[in-house]
Amino acid sequence: MKFQKTSANFQEPLYFAGRWVQTAQGLYTTNLGAQMFTQISQAQQVQLTFSSAGDWSQTWLAYRLDEQPFVRVNLTQMPLTVTLPDFQTHTLQIVYAGNTPQTNVWRRHGGLYFEKITAPQSAQLEPIKPAGGVLTFIGDSITAGSWVVGREAGRDYRPEANFAALVAQHFDMVDIRIGYPGAGITQPGSGGVPTAMEFLTHIDADHAWQPLASDAVVINIGTTDKKTNELAFRAAFEKFLQKVTLLYPTTPLLVLVPLSQQHAAVITEETQEYPQATLVETQDWQLTYTDSLHPDQAGSRLLAQQVITALAPLLKTKN
C-alpha cells in the first residue's frame, strides 16, 4: 500500500481512519475495520494501550509493520508491544479486528478504546494515511468482516482482510467502515446496534458522527431484513437511499444486490431511481463461504475483485 504523510486528526501522532470519537477515556470506535496509521523511526519498540468494557479475551486487534502479514492479538495482551527490526523508518497499521455478537458496543462501551502510545524519547513518529482518496463501505457483518475464516466469534473475524479491506488496499484508499453484524434497513443489529437509518450518523448511543467526504460509497445491505415483507422493506430502503444521498450528495454510490439475493427486486428498482447510484448484480458470482452467508477468505478475494471492477470506472470519472 502507498502512503503519504498527513496531519494527525486527533492528539496523538497517528492518523485514525474510519469512525472514531474522542471521549474522556480515549478515542472510541464501534466499527470493526477502524484503523490507525503511523510512521516510526529511531525506535526499537513502541507500546500502544487499548481497552474495552467488553470481554478483553474476545476483543481483537490486527497489526502489521510495513507490508508484512498481519499479527492478531486480543486485549489480554495489553499493552500492545510492537518491536521494530531496526532504527530505520517503518509503517505501522493497526485494525480493530474482532468482538462477539454479545458485545454491547452501542450502549455499554463494549467497542474499542485507544488510550495512548508510548515510545522512547529518541523515536520519531509521523501520522500517515493511504495515498489515494476515501472509500466508505455501508453494510452488515459481511462489510464488518465477520466469520471470514471460521465460526468462532472474534477470533475468526478478519476485517483487515475481508472484501472491503482488499478493495481499499487495491486503490490505496482510506477505508471508512460503517457496518454492523446483524444490522440492516429494518433489522437492528447485535450489540445493541440500531438500524442503518440511525447508525449512519451515530457511532454509539451517545455520540453523533458526521460522514466524511468520500470518492465513492459501497453499499451491501439487506440480507438481515429477511423477515420484513417487501412493502415495508421498500418504504424503508427508499428512506435509506434518500438519507445516503443527502449525506453524500455528489458521491457515486455502488449498490450491491445482497449476496443472499434478499429483497433483490426491491433494491434493484429503488436503486435505479438515483442517477448517482450504480447497481451491481451478484447472483452469478461463484463465491465460497464459511457458512451459507459469509464469504470465506477465498470468497472475500473474489468478491473484492468484482467490486474493484465495478468501482474502477466510477473512481476514474470522479477523478
Show the domain range for 287.
134-318
pLDDT digits (tens, 9 = 90+) for 47-75: 999 999 999 999 999 999 999 999 999 99
Instruction: Give the percent of the chain with pLDDT over 70.
Output: 99
Long-range contacts of 283-286 (CB under 8 A, 24+ apart): 283/257, 285/259
Give pLDDT tens digits for 220-243.
999 999 999 999 999 999 999 999
Number of folded domains that form the chain: 2
pLDDT tens digits, one per residue of 96-109: 999 999 999 999 99
Report the predicted TM-score, pTM, of the whole model to 2 decimal places. 0.97
In degrees to the nearest 10, what's the CA dihedral of 30, 102, 236, 299?
80
145/142 Cα distance (integer angstroms)? 5
State which of 129, 151, 180 marks the end of a domain. Answer: 129
Beta strand 35-41 pairing with 15-17? antiparallel
Q: Are residues 39 and 139 in the same domain?
A: no
Structural contact between residues 160 and 70, judged by C-beta atoms closer than 8 angstroms: yes
The CATH number given to whatever domain includes residue 282 is: 3.40.50.1110
Locate cell 445491505: which residue?
A: 221
Of the candidates 110, 129, 148, which is a domain's last residue?
A: 129
Give the end of a domain, one of 108, 129, 150: 129
- Answer yes or no: is pLDDT of 319 > 80: no
Is there a single domain that holds both residue 271 and residue 170?
A: yes
Distance from C-alpha of 193 to C-alpha of 39, rounded to nearest angstrom = 34
**Angle subtended at Cα 132 by Cα 1 and Cα 250, rounded to the nearest 5 degrees:** 145
Residues 109 and 167 in one domain: no
